[in-house]
Structure 1
Amino acid sequence: MGTTQSGILGGRLPLADYETNFSDLHPALDRHEALVASDRCYFCHDAPCMTACPTSIDIPLFIRQISTGNPIGSAKTIFDQNILGGMCARVCPTETLCEQACVRNTAEERPVEIGRLQRYATDIAMKENKQFYTRAASSGQRVAVVGAGPAGLACAHRLAVKGHEVVIYDAREKSGGLNEYGIAAYKSVDDFAQSEVDYVLSIGGIEVRHGQALGRDFSLADLSEQYDAVFLGLGLAGVNALRIEGENAEGVDDAVDFIAALRQSKTKADIAVGRRVVVLGGGMTAIDAAVQAKLLGAEEVTICYRRGKEHMNASEFEQDLAASKGVTIRHWLQPKRIALKDDKVAGIELEYTTLVDGKLTSTGETGIIAADQIFKAIGQTFEASGLGSLEFEGGRIVVDDEGKTSLANVWAGGDCVVGGEDLTVSAVANGRDAAEAINRAFAAAMPQASAVA
């Protein structure tokens, strides 16, 4: 049984329990279930679900195609707008996007299961290796994409379809970005993230260079000299600091690192977790870390958030999921001090908070929660060097409506830009739209060349 400190162990459970605990959160629909679910759709002409989708998938059409026994055609409808539609079907907060907007989502009815229907169609197409796109004739244009996450992959695929040569640079050893390293293991099982990467890259014309970090191995200026255009699909690599006493003690960990380790573990039994765990934060990362700590065998898991339930970035569904797994969520508490014993975490002192004229304020009251492991999930920051004179605002890259940055022939999208939403589906939309803008720029600069309209 692996151990890193007193109380923090790996292998707390029988191996079979890990497999059960980390099984698919939303199992795939079978054919009959998909037909029944699709039959509930009204196929609205002015479909609010479609408007709510950041990639504007024609949801009524793809569901109608499923209902008429054409899942392959349905997958084509999805991939036309979102080439990472398989992962988005698994990880999108549909409860706050398309399904929330569904006209069936009333007090008396539940919404159409759009996410699971999308997964049904895309899974079939990918299992049958249906390739809907072929590359146009070579344009002679070369594009560098920095980041092999959702934004970068979507951009690269659309550019490759247009006939452009693409080289993706990524600092990690695997492609996928957030999809591979940043989501709960039970939301995407059976190494689906890498299967989807393989599917996207099968279009051809895309080279991926792993272990290549911006600012360390190359700069934006280097790429601008070597390529006709550059797309920056950089994620958020930094983690906000607590700035409190004891933050660097043994047992205080970043939730994003914990989630990434779980994603890469085959059995999950090798991932250490405390008996009493406290997670600080109110977003999806906090929920994912807390739920998985419980699934690993932690006896007590508590999420502490400095504001109220209604202020949490995590959706109500995700909050309910955490509660159903035995996670306690406490509001109006902010960290003040990490309590230590022999230089190791023994608990956390928190201050009670309230809103005064709209401003978060401490009440002066404090309390301590016993803990042997604390996860920080209080937000990530954009940390990148080698970007030269790019225009920034609030620590993110400034872009226009097409993803164009302040520098010539440089576009950006995903979490690194102003307004980035930390959603796979939004990153895909950014990458896709930037690719179209790059293609139009090529066509405008060389109207007689082979850039595809």
Structure 2
Amino acid sequence: MAEFPIPATEQDFHANFAQLKPRMNNTEALYESSRCLFCFDAPCIKACPTGIDIPQFIRQINSGNVTGAAKTIYEANYFGNACGKVCPTEVLCEGACVYNLQDVKPIEIGRLQSFATRQVMDSNQHLFKPGKPNGRKVAIIGAGPAGISCACELRALGFEADVFEAKAQPSGLTVYGVAPYKITNEEVLAEMDYLQAQFGYRVHYHSPITTRQELQALEEAYDAIFLGIGLGGTNSLHLPGEDRQNCVGAVEFIEQLRQHHHRVAVGRKVIVLGGGNTAMDAASESARLGAEDVLLAYRRGKDEMGAYDFEYDLANSVGVKGLFNVAPIEIVGNGRVEGVRFVRTQTLDGQVQVVAGTEFVESCDMVIKATGQAKQVSFLRHIPGLELDRNGRIVADAYSGQTTNPQYFASGDARNGGAEVVNAAAEAKVAARGIHAYLLGQ
């Protein structure tokens, strides 16, 4: 029996996908901020990739200076509101909270962060403005967390910034790829509008950059180019039957869900292939869309999954079941998905090995492949002198973000191979300052 009814309306959808970190009211924020010990040399700051001064902004909330708290957050992380909701705070700032050592619930840092930033967004209090124009122009490819963060920092430094985005909306995976129970589309886009109104960068939507000719035009028109292109679609497993109807990639499935909500249908029994955080999201989302059974199938053991423990626990809490040490070898069916043929596996010396004679078929009517995202290698090969590592990631200097083609800088998933929104935001600020040093010698 399904854990959730099939959502028929937008109201049903929001009920099934209720926010995991709902917005605090003033009383909740005052109480929660009063619990902070304001640690010297606070471990929560060290655990944050953007280095937000967390005790400082919590103290500001507690003293009634919510605007000051928001500025403290945004000075470190331009995706301050989104990161308060989508960051894996359980293993970052909140995971480092000293209360964990005392078996006391850690400070709800993420919710406090979203509380402060949402206050200034709703009241339209501008905290920043562009820097004095320096006469230089930078093209940014991709309006995801890396691209938008880079644009904000460049504008603060006085550069003109043009962002070229293939899709219709900004913020990349924050609006297209994050589970709806973590953040809503409205919240994401409100922060994007808030930032653009302050910094004044330009975004050109429906403007994919895909060819050598288009890149060359940017090289001639701009002083530097920033690559915030992220990753591509779901990797193929190259299995027989992978092209059957109702066998979809997790990235594509989640994008459809974020854009079309209750109009996305799932099967009665869904098998999700994978063991990462995206697999957990896809499985949990399937259950919330009304699937009667959701099975998470992974080729290694439960303890070897790449997903955070709390993400698996979340999926498990909505009825998702785990099937471990199994590898898919065929998607079976007659035109449509009817099941997955698996073989059992074992891990020996870190290597997955097939156990002979253990094949079986698990019936289902939908398969979601959460098998990682492809690198955009074919596009990146259009850039002369750009070096990629053996895994297809852009090679860039850690202190400036500059690539082996000096006109190009990069950060985000295309460079780190796939991390969190907060990592992209942190890297992008570094790259913007690298561009500043490269073009102005500062």
| Higher strand content, 1 or 2 | 1
Corresponding position: 1:354 with 2:346: yes
Q: CA deviation at 1:56?
A: 0.5
Q: Which residue of the other structure, out of 371, 388, 393, is the alignment partner of 1:392?
A: 388
- The one-letter code of the counterpart of 1:404 is Q
Alpha-carbon distance in structure 2 between the residues aligned to 1:330 and 1:223: 49
How many residues end up aligned between the 2 structures?
431
Match of residue 337, structure 2, among 337, 345, 348: 345
- 1:70 partnered with 2:68: no
Q: TM-score, normalised by structure 1?
A: 0.92
Match of 1:308 in 2: 301
Deviations along 1:391-438, one digit per CA (max 9) or x if unpaired, are 011211100112110012210000001x34421000001111111111
Question: Amino acid of the residue matched to residue 202 of structure 2?
Answer: E
Distance 2:164 2:418 in 1: 22
1:409 matches 2:404: no
**2:128/2:199 contact within 8 Å kept:** no
Q: Secondary structure at the match of 2:403?
A: coil
Specify the alignment match of 1:430 in structure 2.
427
Q: Does the CA-based 8 Å contact 2:175-2:185 persist in structure 1?
A: no
Deviations 1:313-333 (A, max 9, x none): 221111111011111122212
2:431 aligned with 1:439:
no
- Residues 18-97 of structure 1: matches in 2 within 5 Å? 18-97=13-92
Whether 1:279 aligns to 2:276 is no
Contact 2:233 2:251 in 1 (8 A): no
Inter-partner Cα distance in structure 2 for 1:136 and 1:247 = 52
Give, in angstroms, the shift of residue 389 of structure 1.
3.0
> Are positions 1:144 and 2:139 aligned together?
yes
Question: Whose helix fraction is larger, Structure 1's or Structure 2's?
Answer: 2
Q: Does 1:295 align with 2:288?
A: yes
Q: Which runs of 5+ in 1 are unaligned?
A: 1-10, 445-452
Paired position in structure 2 for 1:240: 235
Identity of aligned residues (%): 42
1:348 maps to amino acid: V
Q: String of CA shifts for 1:90-123, please: whole Å, max 9, x gaps.
A: 1000111111111111362121111111111111
Query: For the Cα contact (< 8 Å) 1:23–1:189, is it kept in 2?
Result: no
Give 3-state SS (helix, strand or coil) of 2:100's partner: coil
- The match for 1:382 is 375
Query: Which residue pairs with 2:223 in the alignment?
Result: 228
Residue aligning to 1:368: 361
* Equivalent AA in structure 1 for residue 338 of structure 2: A
Aligned to 1:327: 320
The one-letter amino acid of 1:431's match is A
Q: Is residue 200 from structure 1 mapped to residue 195 from structure 2 by the alignment?
A: yes
Deviations 1:249-286 (A, max 9, x none): 11100111111111112xx2211110000001111211
The CA distance in 2 between the partners of 1:13 and 1:29, in whole Å, is 26
For the aligned residue pairs, the C-alpha RMSD in angstroms reads: 1.6
* Aligned-pair CA distance for 1:373: 0.4
Matches within 5 A, 1:110-125: 110-125=105-120
Cα separation, 2, equivalents of 1:344 and 1:107:
53
Shift in Å, 1:190: 5.3
- Residue aligned with 1:442, SS: helix
Partner of residue 329, structure 2 = 336
Q: Is the 8 A contact 2:185 2:258 kept in 1?
A: no
- For the 8 Å contact 1:169–1:212, the answer to whether it is kept is yes
Superposed CA deviations along residues 128-173 of structure 1, whole A, max 9, x for unmatched, are: 1111111122111000000000000000001011111000011111
8 Å contact from structure 2 (residues 138, 160) kept in 1: yes
Letter of the aligned partner of 1:318 in structure 2? E
Divergent runs of 4+, >4 A: none
1:193 offset after TM fit, Å? 1.3
Matched, 1:173 2:161: no
SS in 1 for 2:36: coil
- Name the SS for the 1:336 alignment partner: strand
Counterpart CA distance in 2 for 1:217 and 1:87 is 34
Who is 2:250 aligned against?
255
Shift of 1:125: 1.1
Give the conservation status (yes or no) of the 8 Å contact 2:137–2:223.
Answer: yes
- Structure 2: state its 5+ residue gaps: none
CA distance in 2, matches of 1:392, 1:333: 33
TM-aligned CA deviation for residue 14 of structure 1: 4.1
Distance 1:271 1:409, change over 3 A: same
Query: What's the CA shift for 1:216?
Result: 4.0
Partner Cα separation in structure 1 for residue 210 and residue 129 of structure 2: 34
* Residues 47-101 of structure 1, C-alpha deviations (whole Å, 9 max, x = no match): 1111111101011111111111111110100000001110001100011111111
